[in-house]
A and B are shown apart, each in its own frame.
Chain A
Amino acid sequence: MNKSSQFTRRGFITSLTMAGTAAAFAKPPLLKGVEPPLVMGFLYGGPKNDLGYNQSHADGKQRLTSLPFVKAIDESNITETVAVEESMRDMIHQDGARVIFATSYGYLDPFVLRVARESPDVQFFHCGGSYREGIDPPNIGIYFGFIDEVEYLAGLTAGLMTRTGRLGFVAAKPIPQVLRNINSFMLGARSVNPSVSMKVLFTGDWVLPLREAEAASSLADQGADVLTGHTGSPRVIVQVAERRGIWATGYQFDQSVVAPHRFLTGAEWSWGVVYKRYAQMIHEGKSVTNGTIPRRMTGTLKDQFCRLSPFGPAVTPAIRNKVAQVQEQLLNGSQTIYQGQLRDNRGRIVVPAGKTLSIEDPSLDGMNWLLEGIEGEVKYL
């Protein structure tokens, strides 16, 4: 072995060690005289590019770049187990996060509750959960949006577009949040097309693309000419509609890219508005722990927590005008979507005649019925 090769190897090993050490001790340069940014950590249950629920939150986090005092960090595809606890702890202890947004429903109990007890000076906000006053730690806030009105407008568009008078809905689970969307979609469609009927198929879980595609195809085979869905991301449902040459409306996020011809519109979240509002309040020194930030922050179409996706090319100006007109009525309060009398598909009266339920009425949170005209079954609720 000659000298130069020995030298090379030693040099190589030395440089490896140095690189490792340097990487291990590397810290971002300290900025003197600059206020440390407010670190906000976001956790998503699925991928950031699902064109669905997770992307709607990642998009909301991205909008925080317009606020100079915020440093937003995130992590995606975190399973609802110790993984999410550890990710929250890492964000708090390693990245200095003062605010945590846990966006997946299953994160709250027991994971957010546990980490919130450990870190009482960090504020936690959970999307869609329910807070138990006096039991759960005080540093937890809940945020959610009422998207029923937007589904109503999407359903209205579907009702005006359908030729066969049959709509198809692919849903994950028969839980209240999903049932509200199914029923409000149907109410919208029926408001302009009283003879319309709809079939619902439940796939059983939030992300089952194969089964969603099968369900969507099966609904198309049965004569539905507008498809929509409520799953983690209705992307494949919209894709099936494009391929089958029928219409689709989206949910969670704007899915128009996968159906450039057949996408009508959709109900999508607008979390950026919510996250900016929280960032602003926390920047002003408010906190949910001492009550200066409300325990529950919810919003509707009017509060811009959610919005209608841009119309696809197939939607005629006449239909766009009609939808805009109803949207105006919803915004100025002259129209409400849950108006009696409403019967479910087993003939029971679920909203009596003369009664009007506001979209924020808590009784709607326990919804366990499907409207008459909807073919489908809700078990065990």
Chain B
Amino acid sequence: MKRHSMIPSPRSIESVAIPAIAFLLAMALFGGFCVFWGAPFWGVFSSIYRAGFGSWYSWQNSLLRAAPLMLCGLCTALPARAGIITVGNEGAFVMGGLAAAAAGLATQSAPAWVSLSSMAVAGIIAGGLWIALAAGLQHYRGVNAVISSLLMNYIAIAFMLQLVEGPMRDPGSLNFPATYPISPSHQLGRLFNSRVHMGLVFGVVASLLVWFLLERTVWGMKVKVVGGNSRTASLVGLPLGAIILTASFIGGGCAGLAGMVEVAAVHGRASHAIAAGYGYAGILVAFLSRQSPLRIVIVSLILGAVIASGGSLQRDLDLPDASIAVFEGIVFLLILASETLYGRFEFFRDTRDAF
């Protein structure tokens, strides 16, 4: 048994190989798209590589963009392991940011660490409850969580705008409605003199924690049973509702934490600008990673680099600003299409049980 676990099973190779091939195919199609716009095929990829990984300078850019993607990816990945597909990442992100801003402003007189911890807790709770609500609606009321959580994104943004332009508005923010700023001493710092902020640490640690919860605890086993076959799970007496809700709460909490980082490390206040679209990119990350927390770290980094290269594609190769969105769209389509390929290839079949 032990020796077996050292060798990756054909199944797990399949779950890396299929998305990887889909991603490469998407890159090739995107290259074709760029050639259509008059850019050189290989020039596009060398430009992406240089802008994403070419130097420590560009690495920082990629890491900065990867941090929120990791947390937002977990928001879809973890509930998915319990059988609930949600796309409410953007909503959870915004609610987390809003709650964090409120908590931060309420604790301006407290020491920085107290204020920052309460911001993080507020962000996690707000984002967690938001996704747990969507999951609960599906589990208890039969409302499809994909649709409800997508619509809840709009509700979250509208709610945030209402508060930021109304009761929570800093009267001094005349032409740019926003909350009062959080004092710089109460904001999240940068890592080792770089441009990268603490959000990256949160993203990596959260991914490792979620991996640990899923793979090394009884609770994680239960989540996977519920997600694998909910009828079996209820037959063996697992509390379905509680497991689905906690998994969704933790997933949503990750996106909420990303919202907190956006407020505490990037904007220093809440405004309409915190809905920057990281949530939607997080859905892509989760699907590319096949809902695996460790792969989310890698995939976020790759996607972060691609997003970071958007500027050079515009300035160096004169490609349209929507190029990166086109790329993400192609990737997403191919990943969804590749979902139908699992189990169809003989060489990915697990034959070891036959020994």
Given that A75-B321, A81-B273, A173-B165 are contacting pairs, would A90 and B175 also be in contact in the complex, using a CB cutoff of 8 Å?
no
Contact stretch, chosen from B106-114, B121-129, B131-139, B262-270: B262-270
Given that A77-B321, A366-B174 are contacting pairs, would A204 and B161 also be in contact in the complex, using a CB cutoff of 8 Å?
yes
* Residues of B close to A79: CB separation below 8 A: 273, 276-277
The answer to whether A173 and B177 have CB atoms under 8 Å apart is: yes
- Mark interface residues in A169-190 (1 if CB within 8 Å of B CB, else 0): 0000101110000000000000
From 64 to 115 in chain A, residues with beta carbon under 8 angstroms from any chain B beta carbon are 73-83, 85-87, 89-91, 93-95, 105-106, 109-110
Contact stretch, chosen from A16-24, A215-223, A350-358: A16-24
* Residues of A close to B10: CB separation below 8 A: none
The answer to whether B65 and A82 have CB atoms under 8 Å apart is: yes
- In the complex, whether B290 has a CB less than 8 A from a CB of chain A is no
Assembly CA distance A79 to B307 (angstroms): 12
- In the complex, whether A299 has a CB less than 8 A from a CB of chain B is no
- In the complex, whether B40 has a CB less than 8 A from a CB of chain A is yes
- Mark interface residues in B62-77 (1 if CB within 8 Å of A CB, else 0): 0011000000000000
Contact stretch, chosen from B80-88, B246-254, B309-317: B309-317
User: What's the least CB distance linking A95 to chain B, in Å?
Assistant: 6
- In the complex, whether B308 has a CB less than 8 A from a CB of chain A is yes
Instruction: Look across to chain B and name the residue whose beta carbon is closest to the beta carbon of A368.
Output: B174
- In the complex, whether A373 has a CB less than 8 A from a CB of chain B is no
Contact stretch, chosen from B18-26, B27-35, B42-50, B294-302: B42-50
User: What's the least CB distance linking B198 to chain A, in Å?
Assistant: 13
- In the complex, whether B115 has a CB less than 8 A from a CB of chain A is no
Given that A16-B42, A93-B57 are contacting pairs, would A380 and B175 also be in contact in the complex, using a CB cutoff of 8 Å?
no
The answer to whether A86 and B42 have CB atoms under 8 Å apart is: no
Given that A81-B262, A86-B311 are contacting pairs, would A47 and B267 also be in contact in the complex, using a CB cutoff of 8 Å?
no
- In the complex, whether B272 has a CB less than 8 A from a CB of chain A is yes
Contact residues on B (Cβ < 8 Å of other chain), bracket: 35 or more
Chain B binding surface, main DSSP class: helix
The answer to whether A380 and B176 have CB atoms under 8 Å apart is: no
From 233 to 281 in chain B, residues with beta carbon under 8 angstroms from any chain A beta carbon are 262, 266-268, 271-274, 276-277
The answer to whether A24 and B271 have CB atoms under 8 Å apart is: no
The residue from A75, A81, A105, A110 contacting B276, defined by CB atoms under 8 A apart: A81
- In the complex, whether B322 has a CB less than 8 A from a CB of chain A is yes
- In the complex, whether B186 has a CB less than 8 A from a CB of chain A is no
From 123 to 163 in chain A, residues with beta carbon under 8 angstroms from any chain B beta carbon are 128, 130
Given that A79-B276, A81-B262 are contacting pairs, would A175 and B42 also be in contact in the complex, using a CB cutoff of 8 Å?
no
- Mark interface residues in A356-381 (1 if CB within 8 Å of B CB, else 0): 00000000011000000000000110
- Mark interface residues in B188-218 (1 if CB within 8 Å of A CB, else 0): 0000000100000000000000000000000
The answer to whether B46 and A20 have CB atoms under 8 Å apart is: yes
* Residues of B close to A380: CB separation below 8 A: 165-167, 169
The residue from A20, A47, A93, A106 contacting B273, defined by CB atoms under 8 A apart: A106
User: What's the least CB distance linking B73 to chain A, in Å?
Assistant: 17
The residue from B43, B166, B177 contacting A175, defined by CB atoms under 8 A apart: B177
The answer to whether A176 and B174 have CB atoms under 8 Å apart is: yes
Number of interface residues of A (CB under 8 A): 43
* Residues of B close to A94: CB separation below 8 A: 312
Instruction: Look across to chain A and name the residue whose beta carbon is closest to the beta carbon of B265.
Output: A82
- In the complex, whether A48 has a CB less than 8 A from a CB of chain B is yes
Instruction: Look across to chain B and name the residue whose beta carbon is closest to the beta carbon of A105.
Output: B176
The answer to whether A86 and B308 have CB atoms under 8 Å apart is: yes
- In the complex, whether A328 has a CB less than 8 A from a CB of chain B is no
The residue from B61, B315, B321 contacting A95, defined by CB atoms under 8 A apart: B315
- In the complex, whether A205 has a CB less than 8 A from a CB of chain B is yes
Given that A76-B321, A86-B64, A205-B272 are contacting pairs, would A24 and B266 also be in contact in the complex, using a CB cutoff of 8 Å?
no
The residue from B158, B266, B311 contacting A81, defined by CB atoms under 8 A apart: B266
User: What's the least CB distance linking B193 to chain A, in Å?
Assistant: 12
The answer to whether B266 and A82 have CB atoms under 8 Å apart is: yes
* Residues of B close to A379: CB separation below 8 A: 166
The residue from A19, A20, A77, A106 contacting B271, defined by CB atoms under 8 A apart: A106
User: What's the least CB distance linking B328 to chain A, in Å?
Assistant: 13
Instruction: Look across to chain A and name the residue whose beta carbon is closest to the beta carbon of B42.
Output: A19
Given that A23-B43, A175-B174 are contacting pairs, would A90 and B276 also be in contact in the complex, using a CB cutoff of 8 Å?
no
The answer to whether B175 and A47 have CB atoms under 8 Å apart is: no
Given that A82-B65, A105-B176, A205-B161 are contacting pairs, would A23 and B276 also be in contact in the complex, using a CB cutoff of 8 Å?
no
* Residues of A close to B61: CB separation below 8 A: 86, 89-90
The residue from A47, A89, A110, A130 contacting B322, defined by CB atoms under 8 A apart: A47
Assembly CA distance A91 to B274 (angstroms): 24
User: What's the least CB distance linking A343 to chain B, in Å?
Assistant: 23
User: What's the least CB distance linking B189 to chain A, in Å?
Assistant: 13
* Residues of A close to B161: CB separation below 8 A: 204-205
User: What's the least CB distance linking B112 to chain A, in Å?
Assistant: 18
Instruction: Look across to chain A and name the residue whose beta carbon is closest to the beta carbon of B60.
Output: A86
Assembly CA distance A321 to B22 (angstroms): 64
User: What's the least CB distance linking A102 to chain B, in Å?
Assistant: 13
The residue from A48, A82, A128 contacting B64, defined by CB atoms under 8 A apart: A82
User: What's the least CB distance linking B306 to chain A, in Å?
Assistant: 13
The answer to whether A90 and B273 have CB atoms under 8 Å apart is: no
Assembly CA distance A204 to B160 (angstroms): 12
* Residues of A close to B268: CB separation below 8 A: 110
* Residues of A close to B47: CB separation below 8 A: 23
Assembly CA distance A95 to B64 (angstroms): 21
User: What's the least CB distance linking B274 to chain A, in Å?
Assistant: 8
The answer to whether B43 and A75 have CB atoms under 8 Å apart is: no
The answer to whether B322 and A105 have CB atoms under 8 Å apart is: no
The answer to whether A75 and B311 have CB atoms under 8 Å apart is: yes
Assembly CA distance A20 to B177 (angstroms): 47
The answer to whether B314 and A76 have CB atoms under 8 Å apart is: yes
Assembly CA distance A60 to B64 (angstroms): 32
Assembly CA distance A23 to B40 (angstroms): 10
Instruction: Look across to chain B and name the residue whose beta carbon is closest to the beta carbon of A366.
Output: B174
Instruction: Look across to chain A and name the residue whose beta carbon is closest to the beta carbon of B165.
Output: A380
* Residues of A close to B262: CB separation below 8 A: 81
The answer to whether B314 and A23 have CB atoms under 8 Å apart is: no
The answer to whether A24 and B177 have CB atoms under 8 Å apart is: no
Given that A90-B311, A204-B161, A205-B161 are contacting pairs, would A105 and B46 also be in contact in the complex, using a CB cutoff of 8 Å?
no
The answer to whether B321 and A47 have CB atoms under 8 Å apart is: yes
* Residues of B close to A16: CB separation below 8 A: 42
The residue from B40, B272, B314 contacting A75, defined by CB atoms under 8 A apart: B314
**Pairs of residues from A and B, 8 with the lowest C-beta to C-beta distance, nearest first:** A77-B321, A80-B273, A23-B46, A81-B276, A76-B321, A79-B276, A87-B311, A19-B42
Q: 13 A-B pairs, CB-CB below 8 angstroms?
A: A23-B47, A24-B46, A73-B315, A75-B315, A76-B314, A77-B321, A78-B311, A79-B277, A82-B64, A82-B65, A83-B65, A95-B315, A105-B175
